[in-house]
Homo-oligomer: A and B are copies of this chain.
Amino acid sequence: MERAEVLRLGHRPERDERLTTHVCLTARALGAEAVHVDGKGTGPVGTAREVTRRFGGGFEADTVGSPRSVVRDFDGNVAHLTMYGEPVQDVIDDVREEPVLAVVGAGKVDGWVYEEADYNVGVTNQPHSEVAALAVFLHEYFGGEELEARFAGGEVEVVPSASGKETRSIRDSR
């Protein structure tokens, strides 16, 4: 079975707060089991935990002191998302044969990442967004099945609607 974790490299407090939060929440929403934030990313990690508490699922978020250890210790394929990499559509079938650690940078990414990754993967070879790249990568990795996932154990869930905002409290029914 596919399983994914995400590593956010080079988080800079203040500057990257919102983008790292988007990385964390995208990881959770699109089927990853965990996100690891390199550096003092307690804000985004806290937000991801709070969203998990409210909206359910078993997602885990933490900060890490040594991203290189996370890469080296990961049991599966390490896929570094970069505009310089091989097209996602060409490598995803191979990547999918094992659990994956998807690695996304904030600023400039150190050379060791390119070397130690099993795959350097481009979601297009155009400059855009690590959040967008992560989203398409996970969507391809899980073959779209992540869109059907249920997140159990939360307090609230959205009722899909054609025209408005509807939520359902699930606190009382437990």
User: Which chain A residues have a beta carbon within 8 Å of chain B's beta carbons?
Assistant: 18-19, 22-23, 25-26, 28-30, 51, 55, 82-89, 114-115, 119-120, 122-129, 131-136, 139, 144, 146-149, 151, 157-158, 160-167
**Which residue in chain B gives the minimum CB-CB distance to A23?**
B129
**Which residue in chain B gives the minimum CB-CB distance to A21?**
B129
The answer to whether B18 touches A122 (Cβ under 8 A) is no
Given A85-B162, A124-B147; 20 other pairs, CB 8 A cutoff: A22-B128, A22-B129, A26-B129, A28-B128, A29-B126, A29-B127, A29-B132, A55-B126, A84-B164, A84-B166, A86-B160, A86-B161, A86-B162, A114-B164, A114-B165, A122-B158, A123-B147, A125-B157, A126-B158, A136-B136
Closest 6 CB pairs of A and B: A132-B135, A22-B129, A125-B158, A29-B128, A29-B126, A26-B132
Instruction: Provide the bound-state CA to CA distance between A55 and B86, in Å.
Output: 18
The answer to whether A131 touches B162 (Cβ under 8 A) is no
Give 5 pairs: A residue, B residue, CB < 8 Å, sorted on A: A22-B132, A25-B127, A55-B126, A114-B163, A114-B165
